[in-house]
Chain A
Amino acid sequence: MKRFRARYYDGQSSRSHEVLLWRDGENLHLRGESIAREVPLSSVAVSARLGDSPRYLEFADAAKCETDDNDAVDALLSRVAIVHRLERRWTAVLAATLFTAAFVWASIEYGLPAMARHLAHAVPPTMEQSMGQQSLQALDASVMKESRLMEVDRERVRAAFARVSKTLPDLIGPTPPMQLLLRRSETLGANAFALPSGIVVFTDELVELAQSDEELMAVIAHELGHVHHRHILRTLLQNSVVALLIASLLGDISSITGLAASIPTFLVEQRYSREFEFEADAFALQWMRSQQLDKQHFARILRRISGSHDDAEAAGFGRYLSTHPSVIERIDAIEE
């Protein structure tokens, strides 16, 4: 049996001894300047092979041998570990790369959205109500104030909301409970949004911006589309899983990869958000068609809302950073 060189440490001190090791039947022999040992091979713990890095042979009494001769160590073992066999073959490495890429793509494209869709329906209504109330309280305490709309305008919005919510069951069957709230907010500007448990908030600024009941109804239908598709819950679920997925795939995040991981997480989250906007738009259009309303009403109010906000319209590269698709894209989609 071939002899190979190793460094021997007795586990009691850091003294390094140059030794020779060889196998003889079921025993492992060790010889150095002032050391000679013979132990059953079965009592020696051999470390796993990792590329060409050194291997360790640990004896029962915590003494250790460290060697660079990986092939000699492999020869001591009856077989090469399967993981190392995978790492050694370039075909296996290529397959692993393709498999990982396919898995990441499929999870983001289909897996996570499907999972979130199912889970969102499993969330108990009490939990959803509590989430809706909490978010509303938080917004009321920070950026929203009581509505100052005149009674006439309030009635107008309420009537529009009633019309949309009453006619929805014809289109999609039984609907979850829905509730309209009016608020004033300088920070949010002309805005409407849905919260969990069917709460839809309209800002005074938006109501003032709308020039017809049809326009109001289009926005209401869009928001009820979010409610119907449970977009808020799905966003929460998807985003927490995306963060977990990307972090665990990149492994033990060190400072470099940690930063690199936050960017894809963010981009994927924004993408999901834009998809939901399109989905809610499609829902609004479906409802408008069922009511024989002109879809131009929706395009007009969208254009006006975007004009009322100072922030620049996302275009070009900025599109990937935005939670909402560009109004141009949305209007194109509406007019198609």
Chain B
Amino acid sequence: MELQTGAEPRDPLLEQATRKQYPFEFFGTGAEYFRIWIVNISLTILTLGIYSAWAKVRKMQYFYGNSRLAGGSFEFTADPLNILKGRLLVFFLFVAYQLASWAQPLLAIVLALAIVPFVPWIVVKALSFNLRYSSYRGLNFRFDGRYWEAFRVYVLLTIAIPLSLGLAYPYVIWRRKQFFVDNARYGTSLFGFDGAIGHFYTVYIVAWLAMSGIAVAALILIAAATLLAGSLGLDFNELLDIEEEAGKELLAALGMSVGIAVYALLFLAFLVMNTAIQAVISNHVWQRTQLADTVRFHLDLSLWKMAGLQLTNILAIIFSLGLLIPWASVRMVRYKASRFTLIAAPAALESFIASERDAVTATATELGDALDFDLGL
């Protein structure tokens, strides 16, 4: 099948001149989503989990529908029954795996290895599912990735990471982004990715240096705290006139608290660093992505703002015992949308066409649906 980039032939120069910026907007609110979220959870409990498939569709649609671009919103069109089938399958596999690993830990290892050939298949199907059931302006997205390319990207390259002592890691991430973007389609139009491998290496090297610095600082902090606590511990006995045993216990409690505090800080530092890496990589990927030569994107996430959002979200979720999860999710999506722009000529946005396969939805999708179940990835 011949893939075309647009409808009518256009004058490229004219099109360049008429290019406009279309900001993404997100209109969801934490309060509104909370209602949907808590009703979803309650109904899921009441139906012993069966409703979770419908809950997923409602959740996805809430986020899709509230995302606006150039006057249109996004639609999540998956059938909850297919999601339910996928979830039941995953549930039974999980239970079977657990039983097997208790009865025979060796069998569990064999099973885990047996899954490897299925990984590329699962990746391709999951990406296909997400894109196929995403729609904008009445056209669906698609994913055309093939098994063997996924096998190279997700199995062979994954093995290469430890073999190269981690040096291949930035390349592998770059290759995965390329695999994802290059195989994505909107109607008949292809997405294209020309990200720079060098940029990925720069990001990971800087991150690695920063993490090493933090780890060394944490070690020094622990050592200092131990020494400090050691000298304090002696004082406790004299100061408080308590027995040696009690002084030891006090010291141990103090050491434990310092230890926990340092680990918590270290944990948060890794988390913030991870968020920052994701933000920088996402910015680069979207800036180097285009759709059919006519549409470009611009994402400008601030590294610090993202890290701050992530941190405050986690604290809010922990201290609200989970009740602020909807607020946290909405807040993150709203920020990301606010930094995301699409650049295209108005005519270009109007001229994408449905692929032939899209046009025969009635029969073809039913057939494909049976295989394209969502594996909850």
Residues of A participating in the B interface, judged by any CB pair closer than 8 Å: 7, 9-16, 47-48, 50-54, 56, 62-64, 66, 83, 86-88, 92-93, 96-97, 99-100, 103, 127, 130-131, 134, 138, 236, 240, 244, 248-252, 254, 256-257, 259-260, 263-264, 312-318, 321, 328
Contact = CB atoms under 8 A, between A and B. Distances in A.
A93 B62 CA distance: 17
Contacts of B102: 127, 131, 236
A111 to B, nearest CB: 11
Contact of B187 (A14, A48, A99, A328): A14
Interface string B265-287: 00000010000000000000000
Given A7-B71, A244-B94, A251-B59, A13 B39 contact: no
Q: Number of contact residues on B: which range applies?
A: 35 or more
Contact of A96 (B41, B61, B75, B352): B41
B350 A257 contact: no
B103 A315 contact: no
Contacts of B317: 256-257, 260
A318 B261 CA distance: 10
Nearest to B251: A312
Given A14-B139, A16-B71, A53-B27, A93 B38 contact: yes
Given A53-B66, A131-B102, A313-B249, A318 B354 contact: no
B310 A256 contact: yes
A83 B138 contact: no
Given A12-B359, A14-B350, A250-B325, A64 B62 contact: no
B58 interface: yes
Given A100-B42, A260-B317, A13 B351 contact: yes
9 A-B pairs with the lowest CB-CB distances in the bound complex, closest first: A9-B138, A53-B65, A315-B253, A14-B352, A96-B42, A312-B252, A312-B256, A14-B137, A51-B32
A7 B8 CA distance: 22
Nearest to B258: A312
Contact of B257 (A16, A48, A54, A317): A317
Interface string B135-159: 0111100000000000000000000
B28 A53 contact: yes
B65 A97 contact: no
B376 A252 contact: yes
A199 B252 CA distance: 33
A101 to B, nearest CB: 8
Which of B256, B317, B323 counts the most chain A CB atoms within 10 A? Answer: B256
A51 B33 contact: yes
Interface string B13-41: 00000000000000111001111111111
A63 B329 CA distance: 32
Nearest to B74: A54
B7 interface: yes
B322 interface: yes
Contact of A251 (B7, B56, B256): B56
A314 B44 CA distance: 38
Interface string B334-365: 00000000000000011111100011011000
B89 interface: no
B181 interface: no
B257 A318 contact: yes
B38 A100 contact: yes
A139 to B, nearest CB: 12
A9 B350 CA distance: 10
Contacts of B350: 13-16
B73 A53 contact: yes
Given A99-B42, A259-B314, 9 more contacts: A13-B352, A13-B354, A50-B58, A51-B62, A87-B35, A93-B35, A96-B39, A250-B325, A316-B256
